[in-house]
Structure 1
Amino acid sequence: MCGLAGVIADRTLTPAQQQRLADAVAALHHRGPDGHGIHQQGPVGLVHTRLAIIDLAGGDQPLQSAASGLQAVVNGEIYNHVELREEFRRRGEPEPRSHSDCEALLQAYQVHGVPGLARLNGMFAAALHDPARRRLVLARDRLGIKPLYYARGAGCVVFGSELRAVLALLGHTPPLVADGIAQFFEHEFQGGEATAFEGVMRVPPGHALVIEEDGLQIRRERYWSLAEAPLRTWPASTRAEEADEAFTALMEQVMTEHLRADVPFGLLLSGGVDSGLLCALLTRMHGQPIESFSVGYATDDAAEAGRNELDAAEAVAARLGTRHTALRLAPGDLWRRLPHAVWATDELMRDHAVLPTLALGERASQSLKIVFTGEGGDEVFAGYGRYRRPALQRWLAGLRSPGSGGFRTRSLWPRAWQQAVFGPALQAASGGFRQPQIEAWQATPRNWTTLQRSQHGDLMTAVPDNLLVKADRSLMAFGIEGRVPFLDHRVVEFGLSLPDAWKVQGRIGKHFLRRWGLRHLPHDALFTPKKGFHVPMHWLLSGDFLKHLQAALARNAAVQQWLQPAGVARLIEVQQQTGAHTEALSAVLHFALWHRIQVEQGGRRPPAHAELLDYLQ
């Protein structure tokens, strides 16, 4: 787990571009605090910051192939590197220079070219310089677990694990794009390939971009598509026991690969089904107690205490004998983390679960470099309530907003408040958040069910552009690798293949996983209604703080440029009177913070605990 960045120019790198490689190292230091490497050859410069997980002594990057001169920098883990190494040895391929798992990516490309990426089980972003073919290849894993961005500069293409590295290599901050900001306000994140910065793009999951040295032409190659994956079929005569056995064998293989590391690991334990099952599997397969971490609130608020999952997490930890740490956060601790959370997220994305995840990452980093998390279980096995909406409700939503089968059609902002708060450019861009969802829906086979198509929509949009942004950036901000077994592509394909009736029964989602899990955990731990981790923003957006916030936002550059200050002031007044617009107001607050930190201050890192209003004045 690391950070990577680099540049390919239309001629030999200039002194300015060489200096910017060093700037990219500084921008990505938090992702790789154990060391860094820089490779320069002709028009190509590669940067790597390392978090040492496998082959601690010999796994420094950039990696180099002695046989072909290939150079590569990789962020992530290739879990099946043991099997691939043996396969390439039997083929008579040259031995790798190190025992790093990332050597498998270099070998797979060397033998098979870009299609060789489909041989890799893992999470990765990579840049490979192929001097023989005079090209650079940028690649990203199937589900977008690891981030990778790129942009065209003056006579070059730059790329990096985070936006701040790309901006450092460009040497300037591009203007913002109204569509990206509008998507953020209406949908909490921006989906698709574009980002909020003009010309700065995401490498799509499951793709490689081939950049030719001659002319810097970019050609894309897709090596995996969930919509085209050969999903398993389940005859009507299939017994539940047969599906259970198949899933057991799959999870044994997936977890065996995910457990490969040369450093200790732990688990973020929420008290829900997914992390509870991971805890059971890790404990059994590791053979000794693991460290686990959970988080909740120190509060007298009875409503919030009732949503706390600390007791459920501690019950699982006690049952499985983990070395458990429970964090209890006071409201003030959350708010002082908000500037750092906005910086850590990097993207213009608002998921307040970043706040407790940062607290967990900071605590886990005191003893570990790896934590497992349950991300993806709800999307893969259909746990969310949005997958169980009545057919009539979906049909009506589809009539109002066609293109996605009535799935994810609503803006988070009522039209009246859009008109009052959004500036003219954002009003013109309103509704664009639906396009990535429509494209994901339309890409699926017509014989797929509505449930499968809805799951696919989330797996192609909300998962890489929201859920995994939170998971990757929150943990990497403190040099922690997050492993997400439920988003292994084989598990994803298995979950999509299951008949709807096995996944959803009445008002119970994720039924297959819950029932399968009974071999590991008691019924109460698996069939208790889902709580989720709620962040009580109403604690902050109330009382005297709103008066200070109103004064600060009135002077904020982002509000003045993109919103209507009078509308923002009215929103605050109504929030103060009724408390009814917490989500809308928190979006304005987040955007103002993000703009101040990422745009006006050039991505300068705030302390982990800071005074919130200091970043809005």
Structure 2
Amino acid sequence: MCGICGIINLNDQTVEYEHIDRMLSLMSHRGPDDRGIYIKENIGLGMNRLAVIDLSLNAHQPMSNETQSVWIIYNGEIYNYKILRKELMDKGYAFKSNSDTEVVLHAYEEWGHLSIEQLNGMFAFAIFDKKKKELFIARDRLGIKPLYYAHYSDFFCFASEIKAILCYPRIQKTIDIQALDQYFSYMVIPHPKTIYKDINILEPGHTLTISFDFVKKTKYWDLNEQYLKVVESWNRDNAEMTISRKKVEEYYIDEVIKRLKKSVKMRMISDVPLGIFLSGGVDSSLVLALMSELSTEPVKTFSVGFEDGDKNYNELEYCRIVAKKFKTEHYEFIQKSDVNNVLPESIKHFDEPFANPTAIPMYYISKLARENVTVALSGVGGDELFGGYPRHVALQLINYKGLVPRSIQKVSLYILKKLQQSPNPYSFSDRAKRFLSASNKEKGVVYEMWRTSFFSFLKNMLYTDELKSQLANDNAFIEYNFAETPGHTILDKALLTDLKTYLPTDLLTYCDRMSMATSLEMRVPFCDHEFVEFAMSIPSKYKIRRFQLKHLLKKVAFKYLPREVIYRRKQGFSVPVGYWIKNDLKPLINEFLSEDLIRKQGYFNLSAIEQILNDHDKGIANYSSQIWSLLVFQMWYKQYMN
């Protein structure tokens, strides 16, 4: 794993060494083991290396072919690199290292831009072809590894993190108002935008080709297209299907085990120690079970809990049950209140507003793991593939809501609004209110609502007239993706929407930033693109059955895990945000949401912020996520824009 960066001057000016060196210095946490720079006239490439495969200097980057006509900088892991290496050696290519980087390099020489289709892994890389005078940049299919870029008329600049681009003197640091609005909707900024008007992120499954004459973006893998292919196979299979539903379910159970085990095995390839993040839930526990089958030594497991708040934010009991069953080398950390220190640190690593508070425990668990290993596996992706969120069941329940008289729905909503607010935004009462508020709306609109932090009425109250005048009329990212996504069933549409939006822009983003902040490589077996394609082929009726989340995956887990781990109430990797807002964060809230700062920015109405804070304190409404989002934005603004 590495941090990569580069500059190509489109006006033929020579790239200065100091600029590449400065970009690398700001990303040293991404690769503490080695550093390399290549400059040739108008092109400059740089990389910081975290050594995982082939620890020798033979794997040093930037790396070239024998004639030095092709150069590569590469961040990631190619899990099928040994197979590709053998194929390339049979074609006559010589290797000086045992690294997967050199495999990507020679694969490009053999297959050109189409080489991307040969790769199974997580990656973001750049290849400079001197003969073509062309820079070829690619990002993996699911968006596990990031790659940001800025394109001006006279230069193109890219890096693994935004901060490395911002330090280049020719970059203009201007806020994208549409991105700001999307941030307050989703607590993150959806791809391809960033908070900076002139900086974008390359979308998952895309490549960029840069030359003096053009910049061309190409999509090489598309979730919608893959889904449509598997729908065709369903139709063919169903026409021939004569076996019972029970037999079909058993087939899918066996296939999930076989294919997930293959994915886990590939992600255990490493020349350095590895372990797993253990949350005590089905996904990470299942990955651990398969790791234990494949490993000759006890697997190292890492878990984190919080002393603040209540037991709803501590899953260590279940982590210990699973760790004991598989006789792991278990490490855990109970975090006392330190949010005032770690929140500014996390903001520094995102470089833009990012308000999913789960980033906080991810930082803690990465820090704990890095004391013992260099690579950690994770269960991220299981919920998006197999239907693991309450909103997935709720979307199906909407079909039945019409059977309940509107009068009863209105009374139920009235009673729920009168109940004492829970500091937990994922509480039953909070979810029930969202569900009942979604009556008589299109399902895409409903899904947008359930994924939104600041509703329209709150934004209308919060934003100044000047800010509102600059906004586009339609900024509904989730609703648009839901509408554009094909779906055999409503659950299929929801899962595909999550895979295209929530997974890359939120979950995989904080997984990368927080793990790499501690120089730890994180691997995600559920996000193997071949496994994803298979999971999309499973009919949704097996994923959620009788309104039980992840029905099929729980059937798989039943072969490995204790019942109390499989069928407990879903909690997620959550944190005591409500508790923090009422206690530890009070000084930061008072400082960063003060009258002086708000008026100086000109984005928000002070009276609206005061009302949100007041209503939350009095229990009139639960605005935990909104206050957290505002605080994160203000702290980011002070760090990056002042």
Same fold (TM over 0.5): yes
1:405 positional shift: 6.7
Change (3 A) 1:69 1:547: closer
Change (3 A) 1:415 1:461: closer
Query: Take 1:477 and 1:415, find their aligned partners in 2: how far apart are those partners?
Result: 35
**What's the secondary structure of 1:358's corresponding residue?**
helix
Q: Does 1:334 align with 2:339?
A: yes
> After superposition, what is the alpha-carbon deviation per residue over 1:318-375, rounded to whole angstroms, capped at 9, x for unaligned?
11111111111122x2332110011122332211011111111111111211111111
Asked if the contact 2:312–2:571 (Cα under 8 Å) also holds between the matched residues in 1, the reply is: no
**What's the secondary structure of 2:581's corresponding residue?**
coil
Asked if the contact 1:405–1:450 (Cα under 8 Å) also holds between the matched residues in 2, the reply is: no
1:481: which partner in 2?
Answer: 521
1:158 positional shift: 0.3
Equivalent residue runs for 1:397-546 within 5 Å = 404=444, 406-409=446-449, 411-428=452-469, 429=471, 432-435=474-477, 437-445=478-486, 448-542=488-582, 546=586
Asked if the contact 1:266–1:291 (Cα under 8 Å) also holds between the matched residues in 2, the reply is: yes
Residue 246 (structure 1) aligned to one of 236, 244, 255: 255
Query: Take 2:441 and 2:46, find their aligned partners in 1: how far apart are those partners?
Result: 45
Change (3 A) 1:95 1:432: farther
1:283 positional shift: 1.4
1:227: which partner in 2?
Answer: 224
1:604: which partner in 2?
Answer: none
1:173 positional shift: 4.5
Change (3 A) 1:463 1:552: closer
Asked if the contact 2:145–2:512 (Cα under 8 Å) also holds between the matched residues in 1, the reply is: yes
Q: Does 1:104 align with 2:109?
A: no
Q: Does 1:320 align with 2:326?
A: yes
AA matched with 2:554: R
1:614: which partner in 2?
Answer: none
Q: Does 1:8 align with 2:12?
A: no
Query: Take 1:548 and 1:52, find their aligned partners in 2: how far apart are those partners?
Result: 38
Asked if the contact 2:35–2:46 (Cα under 8 Å) also holds between the matched residues in 1, the reply is: yes
1:426 positional shift: 4.4
- TM-score normalized by structure 1? 0.90
Change (3 A) 1:392 1:426: farther
Range moving further from structure 2, 17-26 or 463-472? 17-26
Residue 635 (structure 2) aligned to one of 575, 588, 593: 593
> After superposition, what is the alpha-carbon deviation per residue over 1:172-204, rounded to whole angstroms, capped at 9, x for unaligned?
452101111111111111113111101211111
1:561 positional shift: 2.9
1:171 positional shift: 4.1
Gaps of 5+ in 2: 403-436
Equivalent residue runs for 1:174-185 within 5 Å = 174-185=173-184
Query: Take 1:582 and 1:245, find their aligned partners in 2: how far apart are those partners?
Result: 42
Asked if the contact 1:398–1:407 (Cα under 8 Å) also holds between the matched residues in 2, the reply is: no
Query: Take 2:449 and 2:546, find their aligned partners in 1: how far apart are those partners?
Result: 23
1:286: which partner in 2?
Answer: 295
Query: Take 2:627 and 2:532, find their aligned partners in 1: how far apart are those partners?
Result: 35
AA matched with 2:42: P
**What's the secondary structure of 2:388's corresponding residue?**
coil
Asked if the contact 1:142–1:224 (Cα under 8 Å) also holds between the matched residues in 2, the reply is: yes
Query: Take 1:262 and 1:544, find their aligned partners in 2: how far apart are those partners?
Result: 42
Residue 613 (structure 2) aligned to one of 555, 568, 572: 572
1:108 positional shift: 2.1
1:194: which partner in 2?
Answer: 193
Asked if the contact 2:301–2:329 (Cα under 8 Å) also holds between the matched residues in 1, the reply is: yes
Change (3 A) 1:592 1:272: same
Query: Take 1:589 and 1:384, find their aligned partners in 2: how far apart are those partners?
Result: 26
Gaps of 5+ in 1: 601-617
Query: Take 1:393 and 1:280, find their aligned partners in 2: how far apart are those partners?
Result: 36
Q: Does 1:263 align with 2:272?
A: yes
Residue 316 (structure 2) aligned to one of 295, 299, 310: 310
> After superposition, what is the alpha-carbon deviation per residue over 1:74-131, rounded to whole angstroms, capped at 9, x for unaligned?
1100010000001112223x11332111222222221111121011000000111011
Asked if the contact 2:65–2:105 (Cα under 8 Å) also holds between the matched residues in 1, the reply is: yes
AA matched with 1:4: I
Query: Take 2:318 and 2:290, find their aligned partners in 1: how far apart are those partners?
Result: 18
Query: Take 1:503 and 1:545, find their aligned partners in 2: how far apart are those partners?
Result: 40
Range moving further from structure 2, 265-274 or 217-226? 217-226
Range moving further from structure 2, 158-167 or 243-252? 243-252
Query: Take 2:465 and 2:252, find their aligned partners in 1: how far apart are those partners?
Result: 54
Identical pairs, percent: 28
Range moving further from structure 2, 571-580 or 62-71? 571-580
Query: Take 1:323 and 1:432, find their aligned partners in 2: how far apart are those partners?
Result: 51
Change (3 A) 1:356 1:194: same
1:582: which partner in 2?
Answer: 624
1:531 positional shift: 1.1
> After superposition, what is the alpha-carbon deviation per residue over 1:45-69, rounded to whole angstroms, capped at 9, x for unaligned?
1110100000000211112111572
**What's the secondary structure of 1:371's corresponding residue?**
strand
Query: Take 1:13 and 1:97, find their aligned partners in 2: how far apart are those partners?
Result: 33
Q: Does 1:344 align with 2:353?
A: no
Equivalent residue runs for 1:16-95 within 5 Å = 17-57=16-56, 58-67=58-67, 69-92=69-92, 94-95=93-94
Q: Does 1:123 align with 2:117?
A: no
AA matched with 1:336: N
Asked if the contact 1:31–1:50 (Cα under 8 Å) also holds between the matched residues in 2, the reply is: yes
1:407 positional shift: 2.4
1:451 positional shift: 1.3
1:439 positional shift: 4.5
Query: Take 2:383 and 2:9, find their aligned partners in 1: how far apart are those partners?
Result: 43
Asked if the contact 2:157–2:165 (Cα under 8 Å) also holds between the matched residues in 1, the reply is: yes
Change (3 A) 1:106 1:210: same
1:596 positional shift: 1.4
Asked if the contact 1:65–1:96 (Cα under 8 Å) also holds between the matched residues in 2, the reply is: no
Change (3 A) 1:506 1:558: farther
Aligned residues: 590
Residue 368 (structure 2) aligned to one of 348, 363, 368: 363
Change (3 A) 1:530 1:19: same
Asked if the contact 2:172–2:198 (Cα under 8 Å) also holds between the matched residues in 1, the reply is: no
AA matched with 1:239: V
1:542 positional shift: 2.1
Asked if the contact 2:598–2:605 (Cα under 8 Å) also holds between the matched residues in 1, the reply is: no
Change (3 A) 1:91 1:364: same
Range moving further from structure 2, 68-77 or 478-487? 68-77
- Kindly report the root-mean-square deviation, in angstroms, between the aligned alpha carbons of the 2 structures: 2.4
